[in-house]
């Protein structure tokens, strides 16, 4: 086992009854890096995190954290990890400070360090004013920050964040992103799961895309986005006939997808709306408009956007991210639905 790998998983499988949550995934997270597990609800992200954090036993395969096997040495692994989940696991009846004190004691920190560390984290996460208030009076964003603070109490070298921003409003989300970016700057090894390509792109050094319990793509955000062509140009036309003409006309601007069987997702026409995935966003927009103008087609609307998780899925698998993958792990399935609607 290489000391370089903070987290390593080999051929992990896990089934719940007839539902296969993990179909044999491999992961390698080098020490000091941020790794993103990207996928829709039910893809197996949470199951992978629960196995790596010793909460769940895998059916087969191996997993190690800092070189220690998660099933054979769970107590050692627990001593070196911090976990913040998508359902902020904090005691509503205790105050914020008491929650941190509880975790500090249960992680067997030296007693005299528990309260100073709790106060330091409360300060850092902007919770000092609410420290003496019961958590049931906290907002969703405050609970997530407290949950993250609890995960950090014993200064674990490896952190797992399971959908840290799911369900948060945009302001709380960027708050949390800032906190995570600080942790990263301090050199923590971090594995985070997310449904948002933007989030993975922003925070992760490497990303694994998970679909139905399999890793279907792995690489740096730049590699993944390069495979997608980077930018999507959305054109709305006056009528379907103009849409067909424009689609034919603009085909040559679309990303060439060498070696990709599902590559013909680069030009997508749906009635009067046309999506083209292109490599070089800004320059191509000008050329596209010039070509449309030359052919006498006036677009009714035009937008340029970064690819979404849905685009990643369409390009990698040919199906959308909200497909009927078993929803074994996330009882609240709204976010995948919103994603799919947002991109449709």
In the complex, the residues that contact another protein under the rule CB under 8 A are: 1, 3-4, 31-32, 50, 53-56, 66-68, 72-73, 75-76, 78-81, 83, 85, 87-95, 98, 102-103, 105-108, 134, 150, 155-157, 186-189
In the bound state with another protein, the residue whose beta carbon lies nearer, of 48 and 343, is 48
In the bound state with another protein, the residue whose beta carbon lies nearer, of 76 and 304, is 76
**Token pair in block for residue 165:** 């921003």
In the bound state with another protein, the residue whose beta carbon lies nearer, of 102 and 302, is 102
> Most distant CA pair in the chain: distance in Å?
76
Nearest to residue 210, comparing CAs of 228, 193, 227?
193
Question: Could you give the CA distance from residue 38 to residue 102 in angstroms, rounded to a whole number?
Answer: 32
CB of 79 to another protein, least distance (A): 4
In the bound state with another protein, the residue whose beta carbon lies nearer, of 14 and 173, is 14
Question: Could you give the CA distance from residue 277 to residue 299 in angstroms, rounded to a whole number?
Answer: 17
CB proximity list for 220: less than 8 A, separation 6 or greater? 205, 206, 207
DSSP state of 27: E
CB of 139 to another protein, least distance (A): 17
In the bound state with another protein, the residue whose beta carbon lies nearer, of 125 and 253, is 125
CB of 27 to another protein, least distance (A): 18
Rounded to 5 degrees, φ, ψ at 158 are -125, 130
CB of 7 to another protein, least distance (A): 13
Question: Could you give the CA distance from residue 307 to residue 90 in angstroms, rounded to a whole number?
Answer: 35
DSSP state of 320: -
In the bound state with another protein, the residue whose beta carbon lies nearer, of 52 and 316, is 52
CB of 224 to another protein, least distance (A): 25
CB of 46 to another protein, least distance (A): 10
Q: Containing H/E element for 75?
A: helix 74-79
């Amino acid at each position: 086992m290489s000391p370089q790998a903070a987290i390593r998983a080999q051929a992990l499988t896990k089934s719940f009854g007839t539902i296969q949550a993990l179909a044999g995934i491999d992961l390698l997270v080098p020490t000091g890096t941020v790794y993103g597990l990207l996928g829709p609800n039910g893809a197996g992200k949470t199951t992978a995190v629960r196995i790596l954090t010793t909460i769940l036993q895998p059916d087969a395969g191996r997993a190690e954290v800092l070189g220690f096997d998660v099933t054979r040495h769970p107590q050692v692994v627990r001593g070196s990890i911090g976990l913040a989940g998508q359902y902020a696991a904090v005691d509503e009846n205790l105050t914020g400070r008491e929650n941190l004190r509880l975790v500090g004691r249960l992680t067997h920190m030296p007693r005299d360090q528990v309260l100073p560390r709790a106060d330091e984290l409360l300060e850092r996460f902007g919770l000092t004013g609410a420290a003496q208030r019961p958590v049931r009076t906290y907002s969703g964003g405050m609970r997530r920050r407290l949950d993250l603070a609890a995960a950090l109490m014993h200064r674990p070298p490896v952190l797992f964040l399971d959908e840290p921003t799911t369900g948060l409003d945009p302001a709380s989300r960027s708050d949390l992103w800032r906190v995570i970016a600080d942790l990263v700057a301090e050199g923590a090894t971090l594995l985070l799961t997310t449904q948002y390509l933007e989030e993975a792109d922003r925070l992760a050094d490497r990303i694994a895309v998970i679909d139905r319990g399999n890793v279907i793509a792995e690489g740096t955000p730049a590699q993944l986005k390069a495979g997608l062509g980077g930018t999507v140009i959305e054109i709305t036309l006056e009528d379907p006939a103009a849409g067909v003409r424009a689609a034919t006309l603009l085909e040559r601007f679309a990303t060439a997808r060498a070696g990709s069987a599902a590559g013909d997702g680069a030009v997508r026409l749906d009635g009067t709306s046309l999506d083209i995935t292109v490599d070089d966003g800004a320059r191509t927009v000008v050329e596209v408009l010039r070509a449309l103008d030359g052919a006498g087609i006036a677009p009714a609307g035009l937008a340029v956007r970064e690819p979404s998780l849905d685009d990643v899925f369409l390009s990698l698998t040919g199906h959308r991210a909200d497909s009927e993958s078993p929803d074994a792990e996330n009882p609240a399935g709204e976010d995948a639905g919103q994603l799919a609607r947002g991109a449709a």
